[in-house]
């Protein structure tokens, strides 16, 4: 069992590798995390995602600009490639089909990809439409896929307005459709105002909330 001190050292190293946009170091420290028995999800959130939070602060302070954000994202993805296959979640939650995407106007997909990883790790079948997805496409794809849930993600205060529109289009096509939403600018009140059936703050609670939502459909 790894000591708390060593665990902190490894998580700090992963975080720093993201901030310093060092893909090789990030991948190497993620391998170390697994070799030394750290939980893959904890390393993802407290290492990789925490690094991205720091990057966001540097961007806000105008110490980093868009090119650095892109390089940091590459480093994060290099680490996620290593950790992803080892992420496991509660297998007792209900599973189903999820149609997932980042709404149009928004190309931030790191959070959506973490959400996808957690659903897949829990045994859900995920149909990922990617980022900057035209709203009509959610409606069209749902006609064929007939997913149990539709997951919409947005990272900007501007693009989150497209979530409300997407929910309107989806519910007009099928009033019974269930929509789960998430992303940094959203909160439970906004989600309710937009007509969503569920909201989740992070990738783990998204899977739990999805389980509750489809259970309600069954009873
Ligand atoms: Co930009 N960006 N960015 N960016 N970027 C933000 C979001 C911003 C807050 C930075 C800032 O100003 N401080 C700001 C938005 C401001 C606003 O709200 N209006 C911003 C901006 C302005 C922009 C551009 C406009 C910059 C420009 O070009 N001048 C541009 C937008 C272009 C566009 O989309 N049309 C832009 C571009 C980019 C990059 C491409 C360079 C890059 C994204 C790379 C990529 O995603 N592949 C990028 C990045 C990296 C960021 C920050 C720094 C980090 C985002 C991130 O990945 N976080 C971000 C600042 C910040 O967040 N601190 C910022 C880590 C991730 C794990 O968290 O995505 O929140 P998050 O996901 C979480 C939860 O939100 C939740 O679970 C996830 C995991 O726990 N969740 C869900 C997410 N989706 C969910 C769905 C669910 C449930 C939960 O159910 C379906």
CB of 59 within 6 A of ligand 1: the answer is yes
How far is Cα 197 from Cα 150, in angstroms, rounded to an integer?
10
Distance 6 CA to ligand 1 centre (A): 30
pLDDT for the residue 216: 67
CB of 188 within 6 A of ligand 1: the answer is no
Residues in the chain where the model's pLDDT stays below 70 = 90-94, 216-219
SS (H, E, C) the chain: CCCHHHHHHHHHHHHHHHHCCCHHHHHHHHHHHHHCCCCHHHHHHHHHHHHHHHHHHHHHCCCCCHHHHHHHHHHHHHHHHHHHHHCCCCCCCCCCEEEEEEECCCCCCHHHHHHHHHHHHCCCEEEECCCCECHHHHHHHHHHHCCCEEEEECCCCCCCHHHHHHHHHHHHHCCCCCEEEECCCCCHHHHHHCCCCEECCCHHHHHHHHHHHHHHHHC
Six-digit token string for 134: 């035209």
How far is Cα 94 from Cα 193, in angstroms, rounded to an integer?
27
Q: Which residue has the CA at smallest separation from atom 80 of ligand 1? A: 202
Six-digit token string for 130: 């990617």
pLDDT for the residue 122: 86
Angle between helices 23-35 and 66-83 (to 10 degrees): 30
pLDDT in tens, 3-51: 999 999 999 999 999 999 999 999 999 999 999 999 999 999 999 999 9
pTM of the model: 0.94
CB of 96 within 6 A of ligand 1: the answer is no
Give, for ligand 1, the residue of 111, 158, 163, 181 to mutate: max count of ligand atoms closer than 8 Å to Cβ: 111
Distance 1 CA to ligand 1 centre (A): 35
pLDDT for the residue 217: 65
The side-by-side arrangement of strands in the sheet containing 97-102 is 125-128, 97-102, 149-153, 179-182, 198-199
CB of 152 within 6 A of ligand 1: the answer is yes
pLDDT for the residue 92: 63
Strands 198-199 and 97-102: unpaired
pLDDT for the residue 202: 94
Distance 76 CA to ligand 1 centre (A): 13
pLDDT for the residue 93: 64
pLDDT for the residue 114: 92
SS (H, E, C) 99-141: EEEEECCCCCCHHHHHHHHHHHHCCCEEEECCCCECHHHHHHH
pLDDT for the residue 95: 81
Q: Which residue has the CA at smallest separation from atom 83 of ligand 1? A: 183
CB of 200 within 6 A of ligand 1: the answer is yes
Distance 155 CA to ligand 1 centre (A): 5
Distance 108 CA to ligand 1 centre (A): 5
């Amino acid at each position: 069992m790894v000591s708390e001190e060593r665990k902190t050292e490894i998580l700090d190293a992963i975080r720093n590798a993201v901030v310093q946009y060092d893909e090789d170091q990030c991948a190497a420290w993620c391998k170390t995390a697994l070799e030394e028995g750290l939980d893959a999800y904890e390393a993802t959130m407290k290492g990789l995602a925490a690094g991205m939070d720091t990057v966001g602060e540097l961007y806000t302070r105008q110490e980093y600009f868009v090119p650095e954000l892109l390089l940091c994202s590459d480093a994060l993805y290099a680490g996620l490639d290593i950790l992803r296959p080892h992420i496991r979640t509660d297998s007792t939650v209900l599973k189903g089909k999820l149609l997932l995407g980042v709404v149009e106007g928004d190309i931030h997909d790191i959070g959506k990809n973490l959400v996808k990883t957690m659903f897949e790790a829990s045994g859900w079948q995920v149909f990922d439409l990617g980022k900057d997805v035209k709203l009509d496409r959610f409606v069209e794809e749902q006609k064929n896929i007939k997913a149990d849930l539709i997951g919409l993600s947005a990272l900007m205060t501007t693009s989150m307005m497209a979530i409300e529109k997407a929910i309107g289009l989806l519910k007009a096509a099928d009033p019974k459709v269930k929509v789960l939403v998430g992303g940094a600018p959203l909160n439970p009140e906004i989600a309710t105002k937009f007509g969503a059936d569920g909201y989740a703050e992070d990738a783990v609670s998204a899977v739990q909330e999805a389980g509750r939502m489809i259970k309600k459909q069954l009873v």
